[in-house]
């Protein structure tokens, strides 16, 4: 058992921030929180007092990361999605046939994300089984909670010849083998395999159907891209005669365990279906600024009780720090609300009632992401896993600060260097 004395902030429900300035948190050997409460006058011996070093917040949950794209983070942002894939991204991803290269990149990425406070990560890898398994092994060895997908992509027109599954059978069989391999990793209680059709344009109907069946047979979670850009959304409408959301449902890929990246162009009917299936959305506002052509109607989705969390979308978004994405979710919602074209009159420039605030953003980065994954993390309570980040307030207190403002300043201004320590399942990483 371990005991921590800390100044904790968390958001068990959207819109509500709770602070316990002097909390006692005890954690069992399995990483589960045994109790969390204000510290009694006589504190038990052997506790670790964290209060002088910052505030303790729940670990950050990043719902959408392309691990192989880490080497091009912050670059390749100059062309639309459909060009970006063929010019920059498919050539880079094809290099993961080289296991040594994969090992080097994945080790660097997982270390960086843990240092940035990302305690749970949802990854796309590549089509290569050995390299994808290496990513799962790296998360396990370094102690990051993760969902990892070997990417399935077999469409002869949607994928280049040098980087695709030979046929639908290969896409399905290699995915099934990957699921077995991850589940068989010794001592694995942290990493789960994910059925990962890249997106509808990259997959044949046969592959999508087979992967839907595989998800049902194995109970594995699913991740894919949904209505990401004008091009992608229109492509699916033309090919399937329905939206991404409805097409994915038709292929059996819209489950309680599905994470849909982006979903910028979903309408109210799509939202109702996503909600009915219990799937979740990985909102990636930074990436959307470069590749979507529109802002995801986040507030509308939240008000319709669609489950939503945040994603960096490395490297579609040029940051590997989830708090950058959280503050950008606030910014994007404000831009959607006000509109952006100064030549239009203010009254018809934007979409009223679209904004979220820092409380929502903090919830999305922690509890919202955990809820999408049905994982017992995201806030501090008995029975939940101790995934936590000790973070130093970014500015010295130059004036008295309310609880709300202290958290707001952390959310809006903190940098990776402000993160002091990180724990996953009770283990310091």
Interacting residues with Zn ion (CB under 5 A): 261, 313
DSSP state of 164: S
CA distance 229 to 231: 5
Q: How far is the CB of 109 from Zn ion (least distance, A)?
A: 15
Q: How far is the CB of 276 from Zn ion (least distance, A)?
A: 24
Which residues, 6 or more positions from 213, have their beta carbon under 8 angstroms from its beta carbon? 252
Beta carbon nearer to Zn ion, 313 or 371: 313
Which residues, 6 or more positions from 284, have their beta carbon under 8 angstroms from its beta carbon? 64, 261, 262, 310, 311, 312, 313, 316, 317, 325
Q: How far is the CB of 324 from Zn ion (least distance, A)?
A: 16
Radius of gyration of the chain (CA): 21
Q: How far is the CB of 233 from Zn ion (least distance, A)?
A: 14
In the numeric block, which tokens belong to residue 343?
């030549």
In the numeric block, which tokens belong to residue 69?
């794209």
- State the distance between the two ends of the chain, measured CA to CA, in whole angstroms: 17
Q: Please, what is the Cα angle at 67 between 154 and 167, to 5 degrees?
A: 10
CA distance 205 to 199: 11
Beta carbon nearer to Zn ion, 261 or 365: 261
CA distance 26 to 377: 15
Q: How far is the CB of 230 from Zn ion (least distance, A)?
A: 16
Beta carbon nearer to Zn ion, 2 or 319: 319
> For residue 107, which of 76, 72, 144 has the smallest C-alpha distance?
144
Beta carbon nearer to Zn ion, 67 or 139: 67
Q: How far is the CB of 85 from Zn ion (least distance, A)?
A: 10
Beta carbon nearer to Zn ion, 261 or 281: 261
> For residue 362, which of 398, 326, 337, 394 has the smallest C-alpha distance?
326
Q: How far is the CB of 316 from Zn ion (least distance, A)?
A: 5
Beta bridge partners of 49: 5
Beta carbon nearer to Zn ion, 122 or 140: 122
């Amino acid at each position: 058992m371990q005991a921590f004395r800390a100044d904790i902030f968390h958001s068990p429900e959207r819109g509500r921030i709770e602070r316990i300035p002097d909390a006692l948190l005890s954690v069992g050997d399995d990483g589960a929180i045994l109790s969390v409460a204000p510290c009694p006058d006589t504190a038990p011996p052997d506790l670790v007092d964290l209060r002088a070093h910052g505030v303790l917040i729940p670990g950050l949950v990043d719902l959408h990361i392309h691990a192989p794209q880490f080497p091009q983070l912050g670059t390749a942002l100059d062309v639309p999605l459909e060009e970006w894939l063929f010019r920059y991204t498919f050539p880079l991803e094809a290099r993961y046939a080289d296991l040594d290269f994969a090992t080097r990149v994945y080790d660097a990425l997982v270390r960086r994300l843990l240092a940035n406070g990302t305690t749970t990560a949802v990854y796309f890898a590549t089509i290569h089984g050995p390299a994808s398994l290496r990513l799962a092994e790296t998360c396990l060895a370094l102690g990051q909670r993760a969902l990892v997908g070997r990417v399935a992509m077999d469409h002869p027109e949607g994928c280049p010849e040098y980087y695709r599954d030979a046929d639908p059978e290969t896409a399905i069989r290699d995915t099934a083998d990957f699921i077995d391999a991850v589940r068989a990793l010794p001592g694995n209680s942290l990493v789960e395999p994910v059925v990962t059709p890249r997106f509808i344009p990259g997959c044949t109907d046969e592959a999508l159907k087979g992967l839907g069946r595989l998800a049902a047979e194995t109970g594995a979670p699913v991740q894919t891209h949904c209505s990401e850009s004008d091009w992608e959304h229109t492509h699916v409408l033309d090919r399937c005669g329905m939206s991404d959301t409805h097409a994915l449902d038709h292929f059996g890929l819209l489950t309680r365990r599905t994470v849909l990246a982006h979903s910028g162009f979903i309408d109210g009917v799509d939202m109702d279906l996503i909600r009915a299936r219990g799937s979740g959305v990985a909102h990636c506002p930074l990436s959307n600024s470069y590749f979507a052509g529109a802002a995801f109607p986040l507030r509308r989705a939240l008000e319709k009780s669609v489950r939503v969390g945040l994603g960096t979308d490395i490297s579609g978004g040029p940051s590997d720090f989830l708090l950058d994405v959280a503050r950008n979710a606030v910014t994007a919602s404000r831009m959607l609300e006000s509109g952006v074209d100064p030549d239009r009159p203010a009254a018809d420039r934007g979409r009223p009632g679209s904004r979220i605030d820092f409380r929502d953003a903090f919830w999305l980065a922690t509890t919202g992401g955990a809820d999408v994954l049905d994982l017992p993390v995201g806030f501090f309570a008995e029975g939940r896993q101790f995934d936590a980040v000790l973070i130093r307030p970014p500015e010295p207190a130059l004036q008295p600060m309310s609880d709300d403002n202290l958290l707001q300043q952390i959310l809006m201004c903190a940098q990776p260097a402000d993160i002091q320590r990180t724990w996953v399942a009770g283990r310091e990483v």
